[in-house]
Structure 1
């Protein structure tokens, strides 16, 4: 496991926010990282925009479109990470799609990500059975390829958990990302299956938007992941979103700690 990712969970329950790089601009994304770190985030997911983000709901899909329309590229995001790493060592992982990595060149992408100080990679469209070509390169460069498990994974959960690195991303609900009024999946049962196979942190994402939900999910796992609610604030406030996101992350971290 990448040491930095382990650190994110070392002090108890982790809060993991997600932002789409370049929405509303890369300058704002950079400021968001600093603000979220100050507000108590333990690990940050940086979304590299893609034209067809199949796991995303309308909120994050729209953010991808805005970022790409604004001229964001993978290289510009790498340059931003270099700047961020001069000011903070908060654990960070990229979340993107296989095509983004392929088109850049799998080894080039992963080697560069590791070199600039990223700690992990999440590829939601790569199933467990097809992860080998990415996983082997990630291992070479010391980057954790984060595994996802869903409520439908069932008997596959044990197999996925045994090979998992960093942390296991527990998908709370079927469908795409987005805010939900209630989460009915038996998260506790999913986490127990993972822990029985491997002693690795489990964080829950998809559908969490309130401090109460974050606390409920953290009570059954090792942390909560929130994306759409933060991206919605970026959409609503644009270039002025940083203080609003910081306030939200503070409240969500408090919710997680109550969990």
Structure 2
């Protein structure tokens, strides 16, 4: 809708603005919840910024893997370099989530703070940040939905098809993420056993993403068999969430000395 915003006569990506806003509100939410799991404020801020760097790297790398054949073609024909490809690459959420979680765990270990306490403190902020980010997707016209009579025309977008009414699936996902955020906020009001909050998120978002992918229309997602790449990942995350909910607490109890 509005891919570029003017701030003091300077053109700024609206998508980038919403990413920054999302990170800020997520940081605030985690900061207000830090005492539930006994997390120090300075450790929290350090881990969140490191996790954000991991999310950026992971999101870009996942995008690059999906479009690697296109990169090779441009490299052969135009001398397009890998560094240029990395700088131009967009962001794929699942790659960002995986990269963010990996960097978060590494950061927690590096500063010697309890890993699960940090993960459980930050996790409810993820659907909140993601919900704000999806509004940025809507403004940019990326991640658009299927054609429909009551959709939105993204003629200002350099990404979406012009002259076609498309389902604003970005806003639908944003609303679903807000519901997930409030559910996780309620569930995380007290300290939970290791893995439970993560399981709540993996299953919740996995279901949301799996269903909404049927209403996506952007071809860059990639289709393998009857499902998109994100749907296959969603099924894997739902299974992983079931593991963390049912089996992981038992494993932890067996490892903990009596």
Relative CO higher for 1 or 2, CA cutoff 8 Å, sep ≥ 6?
1
TM-score (norm 1): 0.28
1 or 2, which has the higher strand percentage? 1
Structure with higher Rg: it is 2
TM-score (norm 2): 0.28
